[in-house]
Amino acid sequence: MREIDQTAQDSYIAQLLKEENSLKKQSRQASEDLGLARISISPAEATLVKTLLKVHGAKKFVEIGTLTGLSAQYFFEALPEGGELWTLEKDPKHAEKAHSVFSQLDQSKKKVHLVIGDAREELPKLEAQGPFDGVFIDGNKAAYLDYLLWAEKNLRRGGLILADNIFLSGAVWGGTTTQRFSEKQISIMQEFNRRLADPNLYEGAVVPTFEGLYIAIKK
Domain borders along the chain are 20-218
Q: What is the pLDDT of residue 175?
A: 86
Phi, psi (deg, nearest 5) at residue 170: 100, -5
**pLDDT bucket at 190, cuts 50 / 70 / 90:** very high
User: What is the overall mean pLDDT for the chain?
Assistant: 94
Question: Residues 62, 66, 72, 75: what is their CA dihedral angle, to the nearest 10 degrees?
Answer: -30
pLDDT > 60? residue 1: no
Percentage, residues of the chain above pLDDT 70 = 98
Q: What is the pLDDT of residue 4?
A: 65
pLDDT > 90? residue 207: yes
**pLDDT bucket at 179, cuts 50 / 70 / 90:** confident
Which DSSP string do the residues of 42-77 spell out, in sequence order? PHHHHHHHHHHHHHHT-SEEEEE--TTSHHHHHHHH
Q: What is the pLDDT of residue 15?
A: 87
Please name the amino acid found at residue 106. D
Give the pTM. Answer: 0.94
Q: What is the mean pLDDT of residues 117-123?
A: 97
Pick the CATH number of 20-218 from 3.80.10.10, 3.40.50.300, 3.30.365.10, 3.40.50.150: 3.40.50.150
Query: Residue 155: which of 19, 44, 64, 29 has the closest Cα?
Result: 64
Q: What is the mean pLDDT of residues 112-136?
A: 97
pLDDT > 70? residue 2: no
